[in-house]
Structure 1
Amino acid sequence: MTVYYTSGHQPAHQGLLADRKVAVVHEWFGSTGGSEAVFLAIADLMPHAQRLVLWADEGVPADELHLRQSWLSKTPLRNSKALSLPTMPLVWRTLTNEKFDVVVSSSHAFAHTVKLGDPEHTKHLSYIHSPARYIWSPDFDGRGSHPLLKLPRSVLQQADVRLSKHVHAYAANSREVQGRIKRFWKRDAVVINPPIEVGYFGDAPVHQQHQNRDYLLGLGRWIPYKNFDLMIGIAEAAGLPLIIAGSGPEEERLRKLAAGSRAQVHFEVRPERDRLRELYWGARALLFPAHEDFGMIPVEAQACGTPVIGMARGGLLETVLEGETGFLVDGLDPGPYAAAVHRLGGMSPDRIRAHAAEFSADRFAERMTHWIGDVAG
């Protein structure tokens, strides 16, 4: 699954903060992931802003995207997000000597602690994908349980709060994350959902729109908390084929599980954007049994008229209308999810697509423009 390096959105306000010196900052810029798309959508609103990141993964066209990387990109730590985490507060404070009038950070770790000016004169706004799950919710997805992070976790939590007191305003990508910001940082945040290219996904070629929708689809990074093993169990219980699309470290284990399953499971590694849209349109349902901060993939699926069967937690509570655009199940038993598959018949693809339109890139741009203008104006 490839990230789409340009948002495709032409902002309505090309001159937002055009008279200010602006920096838009983000953590590492990976080759996959929704947070990068959000970062670029924010940067699109202020084309004159400098784009600062810790590093860009191999294969990312950093020069083409005008990404300015930190000194951490020149060290071996760029190859280990977990091991580099304790260094990030320092890196953000030594990123550059330049001073900016406005800083907008896109943060899921420590980017919101960046300090690129005098707090009395520099306005800092931070869009939060989640407070760093590695230190605040280490058991959330299993990746924060690295033994080298156990001892410094408490210190990092204290630093996370102390080094971000200069932030003037927070925005959260969902009510789920808004709640974490309040709980962990004791700060308020407005909710601005991420931008989804609903026009692109909803405008498939005619031949794709008339597919049989005869399989289930699982999509995303192949990591433990996404529960792709559960998807295999759901497909087996539902008696339908399953396509697993994406990539990740769980590939070998998942292929072994699939080989021993009665379900017909097909893997597609890193499908291109057009192929991804085709997969959405051909699926009877997207399976998404994971606790996500927001979850852009389920909204993309709904933009194609494809219902979602997912976990009744996190962002899906905000993006899926129970009984109208999908079904939400609590727990990890494949049986209730499989039962939901057989209850999809009465759902209207037009209603599903109309709901997805509420999360459009245009709406994101409008809300971000107002928020940035109100705080930094």
Structure 2
Amino acid sequence: MAAAFPDADIHCLWNNAPDRYPGRSVTESWLARTPLRKSKAAALPFMPATWAATRVSKADFVLISSHAFAHHAGGRQTPDGPERFVYVHTPARYLWAPELDVRGGNVIARAVAPSLRRIDRKRAHDGATFAANSAYIRQRMERAWGVEATVIHPPVRVEHLQSVASWADQLDSADEYVFSTLPKEFILGASRFVDYKRLDVAIRAGELAGLPVVLAGAGPQYAELQAIADRASVPVMFITRPSDELLFALYQAASLLVFAAVEDFGIMPVEAMALGTPVLVVAEGGASESVLALDGGTVIDSLEDASLHPGIHFALGKDMRTAVKAAASTFGSNAFQTRAKAWVERSEPQPSVGRFIGNERDSRGEVQLD
């Protein structure tokens, strides 16, 4: 978004990556000057009012990136105020889909959820124009807020991924050694090691396909996954906290990426398909949209063996050449910028200086495994 509108000022709750936007005006909310910046859970009750109090009147238009409460920015739309465009990653999951987000079980979240849901839905009707990052999230927005949205899929670093023919040739000596220990063919599972990512399904897929499994990532479920791996009928290798380059090399080397999580969109499947690796995903969630759009794998309705087994073999037989060619024009960063600008300019034909309000995502600038 910042690249699409290079003249826009940027405002956020707190900025943990001060060097991310050189030469740009980046301001923080009052929360950044308090201990609350270290705890999103503790700051949660203060976020709606903080965003609503954000001054936006001097902007020509306001572009908002929201996965919690940034769509509250500026409060109620006034006739003489700037038009607001809200790009929604999801309505706050811990309020509207707590079964998919463990934070919904947090004591603070549970206590404030009823009142926050009322406020959240009310603010969604304050006059903004909405876009959703997937059709799946558009449907969640309709259920939670009762609003309609355009679908604009998020940007994926396809251009960067496809700029290197062989990521294995870009590895440092430590990563090169790890990569050299991999089997010739393997099933890949990659993400944070947490329950809802369902990395156990990648292990089961390896068993059904008779292929070794590589799990890349880190997290609290490591011991549980290791126990499953110890019982598996195929070898399972763990790669902890892979570098970007090693992750990309894993994509290229894998026979199949198994991505069984229910995600808002799912960046990793697009990355894998852009590098020529087929993907298996579940029908629920946004990840199925990219797989179907690129015809880059298979979508299964259930994680039972009866569905998983044929899905694996169908995906393994995919010709990925068309998916690789279409990835950038469908999901690349340049494609996103074009669509985002068209979305804004359709209502605001001659914007000059805008204001991009709030990237609520983790802004530390390090690799995040989606």
Normalising by structure 1, we get a TM-score of 0.79
- Show the 5 A alignment for 1:1-377: 42-57=1-16, 61-65=17-21, 67-95=26-54, 99-115=58-74, 119-120=78-79, 121-206=81-166, 208=168, 214-321=185-292, 324-334=295-305, 336-357=307-328, 358-377=330-349
> Does the aligned pair in 2 maintain the 1:308–1:327 contact within 8 Å?
yes
DSSP 3-state at the match of 1:182: helix
Post-superposition offset of 1:364: 1.1
DSSP 3-state at the match of 2:94: helix
For residues 53 and 275 of structure 1, do their structure 2 counterparts lie closer, same or farther at Cα, with a shift above 3 Å needed?
Answer: same
Work out the CA distance in 1 between the residues paired with 2:285 and 2:125: 27
Post-superposition offset of 1:298: 0.6
> Does the aligned pair in 2 maintain the 1:287–1:308 contact within 8 Å?
yes
> Does the aligned pair in 2 maintain the 1:99–1:117 contact within 8 Å?
no
> Does the aligned pair in 2 maintain the 1:100–1:116 contact within 8 Å?
no
Count of residue pairs the alignment pairs up? 332
DSSP 3-state at the match of 1:279: helix
Work out the CA distance in 1 between the residues paired with 2:36 and 2:193: 22
Work out the CA distance in 2 between the residues paired with 1:312 and 1:118: 37
- 1:275-307 per-residue CA deviation (whole Å, 9 max, x = no partner) reads 222111001011101111111111111101110
DSSP 3-state at the match of 1:343: helix
Work out the CA distance in 2 between the residues paired with 1:316 and 1:178: 14
Structure 2 gap ranges (5+): 170-181, 350-370
* AA matched with 1:282: A
Question: Which deviates the most, 115-124 or 84-93?
Answer: 115-124
Identical aligned pairs, as a percentage?
Answer: 35
Question: Which deviates the most, 257-266 or 274-283?
Answer: 257-266
Give the equivalent residue in structure 2 for 1:37.
none
DSSP 3-state at the match of 2:117: helix
DSSP 3-state at the match of 2:64: strand
Deviating 4+ runs (over 6 angstroms): none
> Does the aligned pair in 1 maintain the 2:167–2:248 contact within 8 Å?
no
Normalising by structure 2, we get a TM-score of 0.81
Structure 1 gap ranges (5+): 1-41
Post-superposition offset of 1:119: 2.6
Question: Which deviates the most, 251-260 or 352-361?
Answer: 251-260
Give the equivalent residue in structure 1 for 2:368.
none
Give the equivalent residue in structure 2 for 1:9.
none
Post-superposition offset of 1:178: 1.1
DSSP 3-state at the match of 2:262: coil
* AA matched with 1:90: A
DSSP 3-state at the match of 2:68: coil
For residues 52 and 146 of structure 1, do their structure 2 counterparts lie closer, same or farther at Cα, with a shift above 3 Å needed?
Answer: same
Q: Which has the higher contact order (CA 8 A, sep 6+)?
A: 2
Work out the CA distance in 2 between the residues paired with 1:333 and 1:82: 35
> Does the aligned pair in 2 maintain the 1:105–1:127 contact within 8 Å?
yes
Post-superposition offset of 1:324: 4.2
> Does the aligned pair in 2 maintain the 1:237–1:335 contact within 8 Å?
no
- 1:242-276 per-residue CA deviation (whole Å, 9 max, x = no partner) reads 22223333334333433443432222233222222
DSSP 3-state at the match of 2:289: helix
| Aligned-residue CA RMSD (Å) | 2.7
Work out the CA distance in 1 between the residues paired with 2:59 and 2:49: 19
Relative to total residues, which structure has the larger helix share, 1 or 2?
2
For residues 50 and 298 of structure 1, do their structure 2 counterparts lie closer, same or farther at Cα, with a shift above 3 Å needed?
Answer: same
Work out the CA distance in 2 between the residues paired with 1:355 and 1:258: 36
Work out the CA distance in 1 between the residues paired with 2:260 and 2:167: 29
Work out the CA distance in 2 between the residues paired with 1:46 and 1:231: 40
DSSP 3-state at the match of 1:105: strand
For residues 80 and 266 of structure 1, do their structure 2 counterparts lie closer, same or farther at Cα, with a shift above 3 Å needed?
Answer: farther
